[in-house]
Amino acid sequence: MPAPATILVIDSGLGGLTVLREIVPTRPDAHYVYVADDVFFPYGHHSEDEIIARVVPLVGELIAAHRPDLVVIACNTMSVSVMAPLRAAYSVPFVGTVPAIKPACAASKTRRVSVLGTRATVKREYTQALIRDHGQGCEVTLVGSGELASLAEAALSGVEVSDQSIFAELAPCFVGEKDAARTDTVVLACTHYPLLMDRLVRLAPWPVNWIDPAPAIARRVADLMKPADDATEEAGAEMIFTSGRPHALNHALMPFFGGRVPA
């Protein structure tokens, strides 16, 4: 029987699971290797040069060890810094995750859009260029959050996270409360944030359209992969923390892996 295709998904931590859970149903036949580079977490606190120096060799080692058919960079902070160096260094196909500014600006009726990401993502030239090229005349507010990714990790791990601490990170996204044209669209430009979706919706000062790029990334992965072979071996899943720590969250992680228990 032929071996299943392997898809490697990498993030700084648990945020990339929000991308993985959209990919798995499109390719249930594939074997998944999920890598959390927790040694370097949070990426949002590192410079572009530090991220390139960290990610390019790490991804090279992962490609050598797991021979993936495709690599998903399920992290905005990594993607806005390293997609070009990765593509230059390795021939495997890559799919990145970058702030969904184009669809958000196309969808906004009030022409006021906020981009909620890590401090690093909102500072990067890549993000500024997306606004210049695809802002479509919208007023785009960039909100760099120092803490929300860590709060999302904590919440998924079962640690109590207060509404107040989440609201403090979220509040600057809501612009023009007294105007007719207040913010109506918020781009979730960090893959950790959809882990807190219920709470973001509940704590928002008014309803907005939240843009999560994960479904679009899953469609891109499905387009790039070779069609599934009917007779592949049963596919599995692995989860790797670069720190080597074991993952003690099996029951909470299973839904992200389409019900599989990651080895």
Rounded to the nearest whole angstrom, what is the least distance from the CB of residue 186 to ligand DGL in the complex? 15
CB atoms within 10 A of CB 245: 11
Using CB under 6 A, list all residues that contact ligand DGL: 11-13, 15, 41-44, 75-77, 118, 121, 149, 190-192
* Rounded distance between C-alpha atoms, residue 74 and residue 77, angstroms: 9
Residue 173: active-site member: no
Rounded to the nearest whole angstrom, what is the least distance from the CB of residue 153 to ligand DGL in the complex? 9
Q: Which of 19, 3, 168 is nearest to 98 (CA)?
A: 19
Residue 190: active-site member: yes
Burial of 49 (0-12, 13-18, 19+ CB in 10 A): exposed
Rounded to the nearest whole angstrom, what is the least distance from the CB of residue 131 to ligand DGL in the complex? 17
Nearer to ligand DGL, 5 or 127 (CB): 127
- Contact criterion met (CB below 8 Å) for 165 and 147: yes
Nearer to ligand DGL, 5 or 77 (CB): 77
The Cα angle at residue 180 between residues 176 and 183, in degrees rounded to 5: 45
Rounded to the nearest whole angstrom, what is the least distance from the CB of residue 62 to ligand DGL in the complex? 17
Q: Which amino acid is at 237?
A: A
Nearer to ligand DGL, 30 or 190 (CB): 190
Kindly name the residue from 105, 138, 173, 190 that is annotated as catalytic: 190
Nearer to ligand DGL, 79 or 235 (CB): 79
Helices H / strands E in the chain, number of each: 11, 9
The residues that are catalytic are 75, 190
